[in-house]
Amino acid sequence: MKSLSAILLLLATTLAFADKPTPTYQKGTITGWEKATDIRANAAAGTAMTRNKKVYSLKGADLIYKVDYCGAFEAGKFQTGQEVEFRVDGDRLYIRHDGDKEYKCKIEGTRAPDDAKPSSN
């Protein structure tokens, strides 16, 4: 009976992940970074806390993304000019590394590249 339960659990888990689509990645280039400061208020305690951070610029095909809070990616595992594969999901940008792993970053903003062509409407 235990083995049947284990098989059913394995089958259910497999089916749950079978419907998950494979993410599509774009190619982009790290164009640099800048220092910034976050201020987080704690209204209940009446205090504010600051945190220094790096905000990275990642140039994709159509947009330049400003991203931060990228986990280990922020520890200097990149160089300006480095090409990366990334995907966007809501307010998060995921940078692929080591085959199938991802750094999860927060998107701080976007802008059109300086060399963007205006649309012909």
**DSSP code per residue over 42-60:** ETTTTEEEEEEEEEEEEE-
Nearest residue to 30 via CA among 67, 75, 2: 67
Domain presence at residue 69: yes
**Domain annotation covers residue 94:** yes
pLDDT of residue 16: 53
Q: Distance between CA atoms of 10 and 27, rounded to whole angstroms?
A: 35
Cα 114 from Cα 74, distance rounded (Å): 25
Which pLDDT belongs to residue 88? 97
Domain contains 8: no
With contact defined as beta carbons under 8 Å apart, do 87 and 38 qualify? no
Q: Which residue has the higher pLDDT, 45 or 2?
A: 45
Beta bridge partners of 96: 85, 102
Strands (DSSP E) along the chain, which ranges?
26-42, 47-59, 64-68, 83-89, 92-97, 101-111
pLDDT band at 111 (very low <50, low <70, confident <90, very high): very high
How does the average pLDDT of the chain come out, rounded?
81
Q: Is 87 contained in some domain?
A: yes
Domain carrying residue 88: 26-111
Structure tokens at 119: 């649309």
CA separation (Å) from 92 to 4, 66, 120? 40, 11, 30
Q: Is residue 121 part of a domain?
A: no
Domain count, the chain: 1
What is the per-residue pLDDT across 44-102, written as a single tens digit (0 to 9) for each? Answer: 888 888 988 888 999 999 999 999 888 766 666 678 999 999 999 999 999 998 888 89
Quick check: is 117 in a domain? no
Identify whether 91 is part of a domain: yes
